[in-house]
Structure 1
Amino acid sequence: MPAAISSFPMITEEILNDINIGMSDYSFSYIKNCKKSLLNCERVSDDSAICMINDDEGIWNPDEYAFSINRKYKFNNYYILFGENGIACSDAVIGVAIMWTSADSKQRGIIEVGEIHNTYEELYFNMEHLFNKAQLRGDVEFTTIIYIKNTGNQLGTEEHLANSCGCIVGEIDKFYLRLDGAGSMFPIYETSELDKPLWEVKCEWEDPRYDDFGECVSININTAHKNYKYLDKTKRTYDEQLLKEIMASALTIVITKLRSETFWDLIVNGTAEYEDGSVAQAVNYFITTLGWNVTNPELLSFSIRKFFDERM
């Protein structure tokens, strides 16, 4: 398919180089005990553009804590964006923003960064935005954009320029963040019982169409078990693969139990009536959005484990 041709000038790579834009890395934090705690951010792999954030202390997860995203910007020589040879009218106001999209959460939004007027001084912007707990999951794309914030008085030599509020005239860069982790599936609690196994899953719903997933489904990790050291994120013996296997096994049990409900087929095809946040809605999300194969127990177990290997 041929690339779309714009009817007005857009920001090119050459223009971006001439503007001389400085940008810091994205940073992330959350509030713990009334104090801001920084989160680590690293690439999923050396050849991947996707990053994940995590907490060295093993406390933060996106379902239980809000988190802030922060980035700093510096602009020089931006006057070339204005006028006949630029992308906006001489007296227009150009906006800088971050457009974020989360396909898994079926959400999108705009974060305002700052605005640019036709001047020569160096500009500094500090962007900080708070995402609520459980607001996002899966892969989130952040695109820094430049757009027309306020229209200008279009001169005769500027009639070819974009002059509509909100019109996007260029992208600066993209950033990809992955938020799926152990806490984004369902709650994990710790117990201490000497005579119990290392972990067990609880499925205590009455009507999965209306009962809240986070309240009636959980994993209990037994801290008194001799092998708990492999699930303790504060210890060097921590084994992420073991946690993946526990999560996959627990979710296989949850979905297998739900298969016994008379309205299972309606959940699979998305025609069941259910409340937001219910067990049925969560399982429908696993099937339709994450693509888990529920044809039989073997394929279900395989697809869940494959998901964790690729996404955690």
Structure 2
Amino acid sequence: MNNTISFFKTLDEDMLLDIGYQETPLSLSFTRDGMERFFDTSNLGEGHIKEVLLQEDSYSFDFSKDCLKYSKYITIQNHQRLFGMNGLVSEDGEVGLAVKYYSKESQQQYTKPVRKFTSDSGPIVDQLVEIEIPPSFFRKNLTIEVLLFAVSPIVKELPGSRGTIFGSLDSVRCVIEGEGGSFPILYHDDPGKPLWWVECNWEDAAIDPFHEDYVSLNINRKHPDAKDLKLNKMPEVSPMMKQVISSALFTISLKVLHEYNSEQLKIEDFDEGSIASAISYFTENVEGSVSSPELLSKGILKSVTERFEG
């Protein structure tokens, strides 16, 4: 990890008090069977780093299927104090508010701008900050932060200071219990290797978890065609990336079907989070027999497309 030193002022506790920052308790939820279900965040208390366990029996949250929604309202009573000599930017500068989520383990991050404002802008009262995180992109944990950043250069002589992060207004760490809740994707940087490949290293698909130690889709970011995957646009999934994921699932499914036939996939009670359980889930709505490679390939592509577009 690179360490950086900021030559500019940063957001600290004293400044938070000075600008009159207030917030409502954060809301974390997901939708299941048409109903929105909320995680209990009442015990998070004050302070920056908070932690929520996402998979509990009472929630039945599944990161491979469910979108996670984060929302809260914030108020900055004296936002003018962010500007000028004692502020973060010049008197005629511009500050932005954004929400970001990232996962180092999954090598994924995404930032959503919420709004921007100047010293002359109206009051920032009950500003909604929300973001929806799609399924299957994270494993182990992820962090969600509400940030203030420089929209305009902090000083005219340093145009590169545009985009500088001043600090976090809120941060919550979401821990995903277990490691079977996401599609295991590993990234490589080797011009001599193909664009993608699948590795299957399990001994028993009914027991071994759907995890990178046992099965993985490997993406080569240095391949000439990697640009068509649009990895920098994640979590938006490009059409080509959908094709790659579908093909990888098809390959994994064929190998699982060598161990368990199509009827067993439908009726067997596999270990939760296992490879066979994951493949059973992705093929449960395939029309016709999953023993037909043609129908299986077509059905998986349809399933993947619907899940990412839904």
TM range, smaller chain: 0.5 to 0.7
Q: Which amino acid aligns with 2:70?
A: I
Secondary structure in 2 aligned to 1:11? coil
Change (3 A) 1:74 1:163: farther
Aligned pair in 2 of structure 1 residues 8, 201: CA closer, same or farther (>3 Å)? Answer: closer
Amino acid paired to 1:10: T
Instruction: Tell me which of 128, 131, 149 is aligned to 2:130.
Output: 128
Pair 58,167 (structure 1): closer, same or farther in 2 beyond 3 Å: closer
- Residues of 2 paired with 1:107 and 1:170: CA distance? 20
> Alignment partner of 1:150: what SS?
coil
Q: Distance between the aligned counterparts of 2:180 and 2:62, measured in 1? A: 6
Equivalences for residues 191-270 of structure 1 within 5 A: 202=206, 211-212=251-252, 216=256, 220-221=268-269
What SS class does the counterpart of residue 202 from structure 1 fall into?
Answer: coil
CA distance in 1, matches of 2:9, 2:179: 46
- CA deviation map 1:104-125 (0-9, x unaligned): 2110111323222203743131
> 2:92 matched to which residue of 1?
91
Residue identity over aligned pairs, in percent, reads 18
* 1:39 matched residue in structure 2: 39
1:101 deviates by 1.7
Structure 1 length-normalised TM? 0.52
RMSD: 4.2
SS at match of 2:39: strand
Distance in 2, Cα, partners of 1:17 & 1:142: 22
Q: 1:9 to 1:67 in 2, by over 3 A?
A: closer
Q: 5+ residue gaps in structure 2? A: 184-203, 209-214, 217-247, 278-310
Q: Distance in 1 between matches of 2:42 and 2:175?
A: 10
Q: CA separation of 1:38/1:213 partners in 2, compared to 1, >3 Å: closer, same or farther?
A: farther
Contact 1:142 1:175 in 2 (8 A): yes
- Relative distance call for 1:220 and 1:87 in structure 2 (3 A) is same
- Shift of residue 153, structure 1, vs aligned partner: 8.4
- Does 2:8 correspond to 1:8? yes
Q: CA deviation at 1:63?
A: 0.8
- 2:66 alignment partner, SS class: coil
Q: Is the 8 A contact 2:71 2:128 kept in 1?
A: yes
Q: Is the 8 A contact 1:98 1:113 kept in 2?
A: yes
* Correspondence list, 1:63-142, <5 A: 63-119=64-120, 121-123=122-124, 124-142=126-144
Measured against aligned partners, the alpha-carbon deviations of 1:86-119 in whole angstroms (never above 9, x if no partner) come to 1112122101122322012110111323222203
CA 102–214 in structure 1, closer or farther in 2 if over 3 Å, else same: farther
| Contact 1:92–1:152 (8 Å) recurs in 2 | yes
Shift of 1:41: 4.3
Change (3 A) 1:93 1:71: same
Q: Once the 2 structures are TM-superposed, how far is the Cα of residue 40 of structure 1 from its aligned partner?
A: 3.5
- The structure with the larger Rg is 1
Deviation at 1:83, TM superposition (A): 1.3
Q: Secondary structure of 2:71's partner? A: strand
TM-score (norm 2): 0.53
Report if aligned partners of 1:148, 1:165 keep a CA contact under 8 Å in 2. yes
Q: Give the Å deviation of 1:39.
A: 3.4
Summarize deviations over 1:17-73 as a string: whole Å, max 9, x none: 1111112232122233444333344779xxx94211347655431111222111211
1:172 maps to a residue whose letter is: L
1:17 corresponds in structure 2 to 17
Structure 2 match to 1:174? 171
Any idea what SS the aligned residue of 2:15 has?
helix
User: SS where residue 97 of structure 2 aligns?
Assistant: strand
Kindly indicate whether the alpha-carbon contact (under 8 Å) linking 2:63 and 2:182 is maintained by their aligned counterparts in 1.
no
Deviations 1:214-267 (A, max 9, x none): 994989549xxxxxxxxxxxxxxxxxxxxxxx669x68x99xxxxxxxxxxxxx
CA contact (8 A) 1:201 1:220 kept: no
